[in-house]
C-alpha cells in the first residue's frame, strides 16, 4: 500500500465533505441571556456609585456639625478657655521654677 | 431600518448587550461549520460556538474595524478550536484494529486497486476523520486549514496568530505525522 497515495485519496475525500452549518434553535437567544447574566461589573462605575452614595451622609454630617457649632453659645468663662488651659500646661514647669526659692 | 454591523458593534460597546444578538444570528452558521471540523460531538460543537461568542463579546473593544468583523470572528473561532483540540487530546494512541466494516472494505479495495476507489466514499470520510483525530493539535489544525480547506500559508498565519515560517514548519511536521499514522495503519492492517 502506498501511504502517499492513500494520503492524497483521503485528503481528497475530506475536501468533498462540506461541514454542516446548522445552528441549534434559538442559539442567539441563549447567548444573549448568558451575556446578560455574565455582565462584568465596571470597577470605575462601582467606585463612582459608592462615592456618590457616601457623599450624601457626609454632607448631612457636615451640615449637622455646622449647625451645632453655629447655634451652640461660645464659652465665656476663663475656666473653659482651651487656649488658656494649653498655655498653663505648657508653661507649668516654668511657673514652678519661678516659685521655688 | 436594519442597522449596519458597525452600528450594532458601537451599540454593544456602549452597553446595549441586546445589539449583539443580530451578530450572533448572522455569523453563527460559519462558527458552527468551523467548529464541526474539529469536534465530533454536537455538545462539543455547541460549547466551542458558545465560547467563541463569549470571547467575541468580551474582546469586542479590541475590534478596530480595519478588517471585516467576520475575519476577526473567524480568527477567534479558529483559535478557540485549537484550544479545544489541545484540551481534548484523547484516543490519539489507540490502534486501528477497531475500524468499521466499510472502512476496512474501502482500504482493502484501495490496496487492491488504488486508482479505482471513488474519493467521495463515506468510508473514506470516516477514515480521514479517524486519522485526523490521531494527529497532534497543531498538525490537525494545519492539515485541516492547508490541505482540506485549501488556505494559503499567509491566511493560516493570520487565522492562527502563528508566523509564516512557523506555519511552514508545522505543515511539514504535520504531513510527516500523517504519513506515520497511515504507515502504522497499513502495518496493523496488512502485516
Q: pLDDT, tens digit, for every residue of A26-54?
A: 999 999 998 888 766 677 888 888 899 99
C-alpha cell at B71: 475575519
Residue A61 lies in a domain: yes
pLDDT score, position B72: 95
> Is there a contact between B140 and B116 (Cβ–Cβ < 8 Å)?
no
C-alpha cell at B183: 504507515
Residue A47 lies in a domain: yes
Domain count, chain A: 1
CATH topology of domain B1-88: Rna Polymerase Sigma Factor; Chain: A (1.10.1740)
Parent domain of A59: 41-70
Which value does ipTM take for this structure?
0.82
What distance in Å separates the CA atoms of residue B137 and residue B81, rounded to the nearest whole number?
9
pLDDT digits (tens, 9 = 90+) for B90-135: 656 666 777 888 888 888 888 888 777 665 578 888 889 889 999 9
How far, CA to CA in Å, does B48 sit from each of A27, A66, B41, B69? 13, 62, 11, 19
Cβ contact, residue pair A32, B21, below 8 Å: yes
Chosen from A4, A5, A11, A25 to mutate, greatest number of chain B CBs within 10 A: A11
Q: Which of B184, B181, B145 is nearest to B161 (CA)?
A: B145
**From the list B110, B114, B147, which residue is nearest A11 (CB)?**
B147
- Please tell me what DSSP assigns to residue B4: P
Residue A65 lies in a domain: yes
Compute the nearest-CA separation of B73 from chain A (Å).
Answer: 15
Q: How far is the first Cα of chain A from the last one, in angstroms, to the nearest whole number?
A: 125
Domain extents for chain B? 1-88, 93-191
C-alpha cell at B93: 494512541
Interface of A with B (CB under 8 A): 1-7, 9-24, 27-32, 34-36, 38-40
According to CATH, what is the number of the domain B93-191?
Answer: 1.10.10.10
Residue A49 lies in a domain: yes
Residue A84 lies in a domain: no
Amino acid at each position: 500500500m502506498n501511504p502517499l497515495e492513500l494520503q492524497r485519496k483521503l485528503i481528497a475525500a475530506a475536501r468533498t465533505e462540506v461541514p454542516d452549518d446548522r445552528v441549534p434553535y434559538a442559539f442567539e437567544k441563549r447567548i444573549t441571556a448568558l451575556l446578560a447574566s455574565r455582565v462584568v461589573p465596571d470597577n470605575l462605575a462601582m467606585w463612582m456609585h459608592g462615592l456618590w452614595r457616601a457623599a450624601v451622609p457626609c454632607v448631612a454630617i457636615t451640615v449637622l456639625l455646622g449647625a451645632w457649632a453655629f447655634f451652640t453659645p461660645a464659652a465665656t468663662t476663663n475656666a473653659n478657655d482651651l487656649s488658656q488651659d494649653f498655655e498653663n500646661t505648657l508653661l507649668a514647669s516654668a511657673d514652678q521654677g519661678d516659685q521655688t526659692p | 431600518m436594519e442597522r449596519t454591523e458597525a452600528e450594532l458593534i458601537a451599540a454593544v460597546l456602549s452597553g446595549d448587550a441586546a445589539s449583539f444578538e443580530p451578530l450572533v444570528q448572522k455569523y453563527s452558521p460559519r462558527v458552527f461549520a468551523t467548529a464541526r471540523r474539529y469536534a465530533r460531538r454536537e455538545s462539543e460543537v455547541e460549547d466551542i460556538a458558545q465560547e467563541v461568542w463569549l470571547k467575541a463579546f468580551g474582546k469586542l473593544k479590541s475590534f478596530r474595524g480595519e478588517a471585516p468583523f467576520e475575519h476577526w470572528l473567524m480568527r477567534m473561532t479558529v483559535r478557540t478550536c485549537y484550544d479545544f483540540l489541545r484540551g481534548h487530546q484523547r484516543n490519539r494512541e489507540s490502534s486501528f484494529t477497531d475500524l468499521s466494516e466499510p472502512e476496512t472494505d474501502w482500504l482493502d479495495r484501495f490496496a487492491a486497486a488504488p486508482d479505482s476507489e471513488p474519493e467521495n466514499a463515506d468510508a473514506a470520510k470516516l477514515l480521514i476523520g479517524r486519522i485526523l483525530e490521531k494527529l497532534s493539535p497543531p498538525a490537525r489544525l494545519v492539515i485541516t486549514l492547508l490541505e482540506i480547506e485549501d488556505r494559503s500559508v499567509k491566511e493560516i498565519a493570520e487565522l492562527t496568530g502563528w508566523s509564516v515560517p512557523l506555519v511552514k514548519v508545522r505543515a511539514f511536521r504535520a504531513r510527516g505525522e500523517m504519513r506515520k499514522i497511515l504507515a502504522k495503519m497499513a502495518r496493523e492492517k496488512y502485516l
